[in-house]
Each structure stands twice: as C-alpha cells, then as structure tokens.
C-alpha cells in the first residue's frame, strides 16, 4: 500500500499537475466535475480557483492513481464532508429515489395518459382527413 501511495505521489509530481495515464486523468477529471468545492458557492472542484478546491483536485488525482474505484473515492469525500459534497446525489434513500425517478415517472405517466386519452376516443366512426403541412402552409403564407 505504502509503495502504491509513493508511486502515486511520484506520478503526480512527475507530470507536473496532471496524471500521466490519459485514461486515469480522464477519470479524475470526471470525478472533479462531480465533487463539490466545500468553500465555494456552487461549483464543482473542477471549476474553482479556491485553495481547498486545488487540494481536493490533488486528492482525487492521488486516489485515482492509487487505483481506488469511483465509489471508494466518492465515499471518502462523503465521510469527510457529508452528502453535500456530491453533485451526483446517491439514489440509495427515498429522497434520492424521488429525485432520480421523478423526471422519468412524469414522462411515462404523462405519455401514457396522452396515448390513453387518444385511444379512448372512437375515431373509427369518422374518417379523419390527412392535411399535409405544406398544403396548409401554402394557403396561409
């Protein structure tokens, strides 16, 4: 473990401030956009000039270089700073379920409602005339 940390720190130092492995750097940057800066008004650490955001970025890069998984890294920050720090709220509690499910639930229910209203009307009795849009536009424009 210690060797790994040392290697990670060295990796960070060697490349200046970016991880040398592009895939790891991409993962770190993805996490930086998810973790909220704890000193700023409403910014992820990827977009904050404050010192603590810089430290948090470095922390993320180190943990990525150590090979920790995304959820381990998120959990580490939540342990320190609480749920507040996650811009991607967790879906493991009723509040989270509600937040994540509501848009799709509304879409599904409203969509189903529209379809059912349409189908309950008996259209077979009359014929509905198909009016091409260009014909209509040609008349009015």
Partner 1 sequence: MIEIGHFLAFLTLTLSVLIAIVGLRGDRALTGQLSIAAFVVMTVSFLTIVQAFMRSDFSVELVTNNSHTLKPMLYKFAGTWGNHEGSMALWCLVMAGFGAAGAVWLKSDRPVFEARTLGVQGLLGTGALAYLLFASSPYTRLETPPLQGSDLNPLLQDPALAAHPPMLYLGYVGYSFVFALAAAALIEGRVDRQWARIVRPWALGAFVPLTLGIALGSYWAYYELGWGGWWFWDPVENASLMPWLIGAAFMHSVTVTEKRGSLRSWTVLLAVAAFCFSILGAFLVRSGLLTSVHAFAVDPLRGSLLLTGLLIYGSFALGLFAWRAPSLKGGPDHYLASREGALIGNNLALGVATLTVLLGTLFPLIAEAFGQVMSVGEPYFNLTFTPIMAIALIALPIVQAWSWGRADWGNVWKWVAAFVGVVAFFWIIGVGVFDIPLLAGVGFAIGIWLIYGAGFEIWRRAKTGARLFKMPARIWGMTLAHAGLGVLTLGAVGETSLRQHSTLALEQGQSAQVADWTITLDRVAPIEGPNWYADRANLIAQRGNTRVELEPEKRIYPAARMPTTETAIHSTGTADLYVALGDKRIVDGTPRWTFEVFVKPLVDLIYLGALLIGLGAAMAMIGRRRKTAE
For the bound state, the minimum distance from the C-beta of residue 2 to partner 1, rounded and expressed in Å, comes to 25
43 burial (CB, 10 Å; 0-12 / 13-18 / 19+) is middle
Give contact residues for partner 1 (rule: CB under 8 A): 16-18, 29, 33-34, 36, 41-44, 46-47, 49, 82-89, 95-96, 99-100, 102-104, 106-107, 110-111, 114-115, 118-119, 121, 123, 126, 128-134, 136-137, 140-141
How many CB atoms lie under 10 A from the CB of residue 51?
Answer: 9
For the bound state, the minimum distance from the C-beta of residue 3 to partner 1, rounded and expressed in Å, comes to 25
The residues facing 36 across adjacent strands are 44
Asked whether 15 and 61 are in contact (CB, 8 A), the reply is: no
Pick the closer one to partner 1 by CB: 2 or 16.
16
């Amino acid at each position: 473990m210690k060797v790994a940390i040392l290697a990670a720190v060295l990796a960070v130092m060697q490349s200046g401030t970016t991880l040398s492995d592009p895939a790891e750097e991409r993962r770190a940057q993805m996490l930086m956009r998810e973790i909220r800066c704890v000193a700023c008004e409403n910014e992820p650490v990827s977009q904050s000039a404050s010192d603590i955001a810089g430290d948090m970025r470095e922390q993320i890069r180190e943990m990525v270089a150590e090979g920790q998984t995304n959820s381990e890294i998120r959990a580490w920050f939540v342990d320190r700073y609480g749920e507040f720090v996650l811009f991607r709220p967790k879906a493991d509690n009723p509040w989270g379920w509600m937040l994540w499910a509501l848009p799709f639930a509304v879409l599904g229910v409203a969509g189903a409602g529209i379809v059912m209203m349409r189908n309950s009307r008996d259209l077979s009795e009359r014929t509905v005339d198909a009016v091409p849009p260009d014909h209509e536009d040609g008349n009015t424009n």
